[in-house]
Structure 1
Amino acid sequence: MAETVLLTGASGFVGRAIHAALLASGFAVEPVGRTAREGWHQADLLVAADRERVLARTRARVLLHAAWYVEHGAFWASPLNEVWRAASADLARGFLAAGGRRIVGLGTCAEYASQGQDGPWREDRPIAPATPYGTAKAGLHADLGTLCAGAGASLLWLRLFHLYGAGEHPARLVPSLMRALAAGAPARVRAAGLVRDFASTLHIGDCVADLLGTRAEGAMNLGSGAPRSLGDLARVLAQIAGRTDLLDLGNAPLPDDPAVMVPDLARLHAAIGARVELPEDGLRQVFTYSQE
């Protein structure tokens, strides 16, 4: 019988895709969200009493923590990052004290040093976050490691790279390009030469669900496995939309932009098999969905 999973942030940008993938894989899911929904735990996880109420009612022994503050344009430097770190550690502490035996947390590529080593970023890359967001996530990883070690529990920490998908803020790269192409407006990319790994949240959700069926532990990168330049991603979208004439590609990266920022996915592929999502497939699916 599949595990029961307590899933925080189940209605969020990434959490909703993970929720759907867990259900499709046969997991029993106890979703947590701020809004009252049938079968969900309603909770503001920044409120101690709400955390305690969820922990008193859950039957899950696996916690998948996807909740965080992710307001577009604000989350990088927000003091709420440290508030979320403290609340998340407290939730994990209570979960383990109640008999929880596995925690899966969502980290970020922003934990890594952005400069220095060439090639794909491996999990042993130096941790040197340049933002409060990355600092809080790296700090939570350390917190959870200590808590799980003390409780004899398992910890899997998943570092996400660049994402796109349903529910994404319209000002982010992929939805802004789709909106421009649909409107017949110039599809502009400021730094077309930068190489990044963009994965759909659907791909990430499927990978997470499959990982929960393994005993994988430790830090692990998640991504598409098909990095492209930002200009190439824009070309793929323009071809899907049939409007390559609207492309407006510049090459003016900011001084601190890493030229190449892609994950080494060897640990992921060793755990669940090779998983590559080509942008031609992932972007077509998201673009088609956006037009419905």
Structure 2
Amino acid sequence: MKKILVTGATGFIGSQTLTILNQKGYEVHAVTSKGHNRIHKTTDIIWHCFDLLKTSEIEELFENVKPDEMLHLAWYAVPGKYVNSEENLLWVQSSIVMLKNFNNNGGKRFVFAGTCAQYDLGYGYLDEERTPLRPNSLYGVCKLSFENIAQKYCNSNGISFASGRIFYLYGEMEKGNRIIPYVINCLLNNEIAHCSHGNQIRDFLNVKDVACAFVEILQSNIEGSINIGSGEGVKLKNILLKVGEKLGKKDLIHFGDIKTLLEEPNMIVANNKRLMNETNWTQKFYLDNGLDETINWWIKSSSIEMIKK
């Protein structure tokens, strides 16, 4: 049985990968810095509580686990703060230490969570081979820097390396101040949802499909960078109006209340042909059924909170 180490295991994507990996036959080792308080369908997850920003703890973790494969999802991702936070620098340093310890303890396959922010977003339709890599945020620069370092290091040490570049996500357990859960919760509480013009075209994918994509990448022979997206662009306005229709409260969504940056790209969409053609991944959630599930999750969560009060 292969041992896999998952960082960011209690995060938005990471928490969705654990059961999938367990069902695929892995011995799953999950890392958290704060203790795990998530409920999973399986109890066969081996948890490790370590601070991944401390070199001594990283060394202890890898000596204890000695993973065959690694899914590195941990990074600083606080909404509204992560884009140009100095925390990004710390995660580059930490990731390098983890990669070296992974190699020193016999690791063979390393998969990293990259981002569409590594590209020059002005190109709109983003392709792994053709689109220039010209990030305009510290987050994007640091993700790209580690991806480049990891690619070279892995090539030199006989480690198989892949980086899944994530586009836009939604789904259950997303932070409530992100745009889709923000609108859902405003409407559930009969409050006005103040939004931008909503004409931005974005590539949104349900977090469960993203988690499955990472697992399929891990289990395939694919190497290098792989876009993780739906391959289709949708106006943000249309997504939010669909939420409004499903809840019967479209009138509470007010577009144009929030100004957007002048330099904000009009379109960010993934060319996902590598993911589709070189792995066994298939999309299971589309906007209609994906939003239904997301809304139902928030309704259930709201009910639980009401009971607690």
- Give the drift of 1:165: 2.5
Q: Given that residues 194 and 230 in structure 1 are in contact (C-alpha distance below 8 angstroms), is that contact kept between their aligned partners in structure 2?
A: yes
CA offsets 1:196-247 (integer angstroms, 9 cap, x no match): 0111211111122222221111100001334210010001111221222323
Question: 1:68 aligns to what?
Answer: 75
- Give the TM-score normalised by the residue count of structure 2: 0.88
1:135 paired to 2:135: no
- Give the drift of 1:144: 0.3
- Give the TM-score normalised by the residue count of structure 1: 0.93
Question: 2:34 aligns to what?
Answer: 35
What amino acid sits opposite 2:249 in the alignment?
R
What amino acid sits opposite 2:99 in the alignment?
A
Q: Given that residues 82 and 139 in structure 2 are in contact (C-alpha distance below 8 angstroms), is that contact kept between their aligned partners in structure 1?
A: yes
1:121 paired to 2:126: yes
3-state SS of 2:94 partner: helix
1:92 paired to 2:115: no
Counterparts of 2:35 and 2:281, CA distance in 1: 38
Q: Given that residues 233 and 267 in structure 2 are in contact (C-alpha distance below 8 angstroms), is that contact kept between their aligned partners in structure 1?
A: no
Which residues of 2 match residues 122-271 of structure 1 at below 5 A?
122-124=127-129, 125-250=131-256, 253-270=260-277, 271=279
Q: Identity of aligned pairs, percent?
A: 27
Residue 88 and residue 201 in structure 1: after superposition, are their counterparts in 2 closer, same or farther (change >3 A)? same
1:285 paired to 2:285: no
CA offsets 1:144-185 (integer angstroms, 9 cap, x no match): 011101111110101001112233222210111001110112
Q: Given that residues 68 and 84 in structure 1 are in contact (C-alpha distance below 8 angstroms), is that contact kept between their aligned partners in structure 2?
A: yes
Q: Which moved more, 1:210-219 or 1:42-51?
A: 210-219
Q: Given that residues 199 and 224 in structure 1 are in contact (C-alpha distance below 8 angstroms), is that contact kept between their aligned partners in structure 2?
A: yes
Counterparts of 1:288 and 1:106, CA distance in 2: 28
What is the alpha-carbon root mean square deviation over aligned residues?
A: 1.7
Question: 1:10 aligns to what?
Answer: 9
CA offsets 1:103-133 (integer angstroms, 9 cap, x no match): 0000111111122x35x21112111111111
Q: Given that residues 18 and 28 in structure 2 are in contact (C-alpha distance below 8 angstroms), is that contact kept between their aligned partners in structure 1?
A: yes
Q: Which runs of 5+ in 1 are unaligned?
A: none
Residue 10 and residue 82 in structure 1: after superposition, are their counterparts in 2 closer, same or farther (change >3 A)? same
- Give the drift of 1:274: 4.4
Q: Given that residues 269 and 275 in structure 1 are in contact (C-alpha distance below 8 angstroms), is that contact kept between their aligned partners in structure 2?
A: no
3-state SS of 2:121 partner: coil
Q: Given that residues 221 and 264 in structure 1 are in contact (C-alpha distance below 8 angstroms), is that contact kept between their aligned partners in structure 2?
A: yes
Counterparts of 2:46 and 2:282, CA distance in 1: 35
Question: 1:50 aligns to what?
Answer: 57
Counterparts of 1:166 and 1:275, CA distance in 2: 17
Q: Given that residues 5 and 67 in structure 2 are in contact (C-alpha distance below 8 angstroms), is that contact kept between their aligned partners in structure 1?
A: yes
Q: Given that residues 225 and 275 in structure 1 are in contact (C-alpha distance below 8 angstroms), is that contact kept between their aligned partners in structure 2?
A: no
Counterparts of 2:285 and 2:265, CA distance in 1: 22
Q: Given that residues 66 and 107 in structure 2 are in contact (C-alpha distance below 8 angstroms), is that contact kept between their aligned partners in structure 1?
A: no
Counterparts of 1:289 and 1:259, CA distance in 2: 30
Counterparts of 1:273 and 1:11, CA distance in 2: 23
CA offsets 1:4-27 (integer angstroms, 9 cap, x no match): 211011011221112232223333
3-state SS of 2:165 partner: strand
Q: Given that residues 67 and 102 in structure 2 are in contact (C-alpha distance below 8 angstroms), is that contact kept between their aligned partners in structure 1?
A: no
Q: Given that residues 200 and 265 in structure 2 are in contact (C-alpha distance below 8 angstroms), is that contact kept between their aligned partners in structure 1?
A: yes
What amino acid sits opposite 2:212 in the alignment?
D
Question: 2:19 aligns to what?
Answer: 20
3-state SS of 2:81 partner: coil
What amino acid sits opposite 1:172 in the alignment?
R
Residue 39 and residue 27 in structure 1: after superposition, are their counterparts in 2 closer, same or farther (change >3 A)? closer
Structure 1 stretches (4+) deviating beyond 6 angstroms?
none
